[in-house]
Amino acid sequence: MTNPTPRISALRKVVASARALVTYQVGIPVGAQRMNGALLRLHPHQALDYPAFSKYLADVRELPLGSERLETDLTALKRMDKALEKANIKWRDDLFEACYDIIERFGGEIGPTPEVEDRPHLRKSSM
């Protein structure tokens, strides 16, 4: 098997990020961060327009996300979590729609990823 092109490698990361977010393998904040980074890495090869991720991140930019939450005072974190939950509710549908669109549009194009190749029951045709 030949190595994938840089575009396909970057696209695989985008699709993997979408799958991780919709399956809640990662939460919405970390999933949006990963997706935003994956889309930026794909951009030199193919520009995709999914603004929900950057708009969500703009809404939560002042809030601790990921491991930085461990360094935040619990009282402050509880207060900030109310704002985070509002943003999650506001953006969840748009983020999930974008993820499902990415999976539908590009999941077949990237070919089986190693985790799908090793586990045939994850292939779309057998779902």
Q: What is the DSSP string of 31-56?
A: HHHHHHHHHHHHTTT-----THHHHH
Instruction: Tell whether 71 is covered by a domain.
Output: yes
Instruction: For 107-124, write each residue's pLDDT tens digit.
Output: 987 866 555 455 455 444
Instruction: Tell whether 115 is covered by a domain.
Output: no
Instruction: Tell whether 122 is covered by a domain.
Output: no
Give the range of the structural domain holding residue 26, as residue numbers without chain letter.
Answer: 6-107
Domain count within the chain: 1
Instruction: For 64-88, write each residue's pLDDT tens digit.
Output: 998 999 999 999 999 999 999 999 9
Instruction: Tell whether 125 is covered by a domain.
Output: no
Residue 124: DSSP 8-state: G
Instruction: Tell whether 113 is covered by a domain.
Output: no
What distance lies between CA 63 and its chain's CA centroid?
A: 18
Instruction: Tell whether 24 is covered by a domain.
Output: yes
